[in-house]
Amino acid sequence: MGYRIDYRLDSGVRGSVLCAIVSGKSSFARSIARDIGEQAQSAAAGDLLIDLRKLDDRIGSLSTILATGGGPALADRRIAVLDVLENDGYYVFAERFARALGCTLRCFNDPRDAINWLSEEVF
């Protein structure tokens, strides 16, 4: 099995939110990143919700997804990542890398917390 990404475009308080639910093997991280980046651009999505909880193994560095997935296309976006609690420590590096790209990334274990964060107004 390779990987699969199921997409859904939702309306949020701040505009549209592209939800990407990823399953399969993390060895395809570059392809996963490319596909999510292309979908985010073509769907004219605002913020992103990337659910990695169904991956069979560790994604490695989420920086791969950010770098391959769009760089400038991600600027001014909020990216909420859903993952299992055991992987929480990996996201400090991805959060720093996201800031360098001009976007904001946060990792969540609870889908409601992720949606609430994406729905908050930014001042």
pLDDT band at 120 (very low <50, low <70, confident <90, very high): confident
Q: Is there a contact between 43 and 13 (Cβ–Cβ < 8 Å)? A: no
Q: Are 106 and 83 in contact (CB under 8 A)?
A: no
Reported as a single tens digit per residue, the pLDDT across 27-56 is 787 888 888 878 887 766 788 899 999 988
Single out the residue of 4, 29, 12, 3 nearest to residue 80, CA to CA.
Answer: 12
pLDDT reported for residue 109: 93
Q: Structure pTM? A: 0.83
* Distance set, CA 51 to CA 85, 89, 123 (Å): 13, 16, 26
Domain count along the chain = 1
Residue 85's pLDDT is 85
Interval 58-115: pLDDT, tens: 655 455 566 655 555 666 788 899 988 888 777 877 788 888 878 888 999 999 999 8
Query: SS3 of 44, please?
Result: coil
Query: Are 105 and 81 contacting, i.e. CB atoms less than 8 angstroms apart?
Result: yes
DSSP letter at 23 equals E
Which secondary-structure segment (H or E) carries 101?
Answer: helix 91-101
Domain membership of residue 74 as a residue range: 3-119
CATH number of the domain within which 87 lies: 3.30.750.24
At residue 4, the pLDDT reads 93
